[in-house]
Structure 1
Amino acid sequence: MAAKEIFAGMPWWVKWVAVPVIALVVFGSVIAAVVGFVIALLFKALLFVALVGGLIYVVRKFISGSSSSRADW
């Protein structure tokens, strides 16, 4: 049985309002968990990129600063 056959005699608001609301009520916690997981993953990836970038910046500054003192050795 196709979805068109199921909703054939129903008013428009059943298909476009009631069914999505019922889906949100039933699967709301699952949707929230998936969205929360994706946001946490993006935050961790952004934090990782920022930390690696900061590490590279500090190492380059240290190397360029210590290269002038190498002549003293």
Structure 2
Amino acid sequence: MPKLKTKSGVKKRFKLTATGKVKHGVAGKRHRLISHNSKYIRQNRGTSVLSEADTPTIKLWAPYGLK
């Protein structure tokens, strides 16, 4: 059976934690930031953990895990 390919978008956008959770960057931080208030920008800084419902889909797209 041939090897499975990882979706290239998943490689770029997600990381796995040691416990198997999926980390991702927060959306809405690229442009038009002047229309957002400081609290929004501050709270969306860094990364967050993906919801439990979406995690199996991302793991399906990365069959051998993510580095």
Same fold at TM > 0.5: no
Write 1 or 2 for the structure with the bigger share of strand. Answer: 2
**Looking at both structures, which has the greater relative contact order when contacts are Cα pairs under 8 Å and sequence separation is at least 6?**
2
TM-score (norm 2): 0.28
